[in-house]
Amino acid sequence: MDDKLAELTSEIKKCEACHLKENRTQVVPGVYGPKNSLCFIGEAPGFYEDRDGVPFVGRSGKLLDKMLDSIGFSRKDVSILNVVKCRPTDEKKDNRTPKESELRFCGDKWLFKQLKFLTPKLIVTLGGISLKFFFPTAKVTKSAGNILTLEEGYPVFATFHPAYILRNYNKIEEYDGHFQKIAEVYNQTNGEKSRKKSKRSEQKSLTDFI
């Protein structure tokens, strides 16, 4: 990892700038792949992420891994981040969706700094909350499958959160199509070797993903 990115990550790990520090086990800065690759961005850590310090573990993480594998990528090839780095919890200490103010505060504080080092070819927002961080008026139901462009110049591909797909299996073919498009866009903008073709056609049911 680039020394400056390592320095930034160690700063993020020590962050106590907002109230979400109170119930977290640890900060989850994200995992980094190479520069100029794909960067997947979710909303915030949940129970398992908070416990393990890694984004997208548990069933959602497994589905994300399988979707990556279907387009010839693995976790080491991509960066996986969340907008909010500490687990938001409700009064019962269960997971909750981060509030707009929490997204704005943590995302503005750290996310763009991380992106500046990673310079992703394509940002992929996973779910409506991370999409809203970048495009406050966008709705994932309308934007999913499309590329939007940030003022900073990064292209952003909007798609669903894997947890949503696990609850809505009828969307799996659409999700697969999104990942195919992600690979196509990446390959079009990448001078390096193209990734292998999808293995999705070999996968017949949700049990292939979990």
Residues at the site binding ligand SF4, with contacts judged by CB under 6 A: 12, 15-18, 20-21, 27, 84-86, 105-106, 109
| Residue closer to ligand SF4, measured from CB, 114 or 159 | 114
| Residue closer to ligand SF4, measured from CB, 15 or 147 | 15
Q: Crossing angle, helix 58-70 and helix 172-189, to 10 degrees?
A: 50
Question: Least distance from C-beta 50 to ligand SF4, angstroms?
Answer: 11
Q: Within 10 A of 194 (CB to CB), how many other CB atoms are there?
A: 12
Q: What is the largest CA-CA distance in the chain?
A: 50
Question: Least distance from C-beta 105 to ligand SF4, angstroms?
Answer: 6
| Residue closer to ligand SF4, measured from CB, 50 or 65 | 50
Question: Least distance from C-beta 3 to ligand SF4, angstroms?
Answer: 21
DSSP letter string, 103-136: HHHHIIIIIHHHHHHH--SEEEEESHHHHHHHST
Question: Least distance from C-beta 56 to ligand SF4, angstroms?
Answer: 17
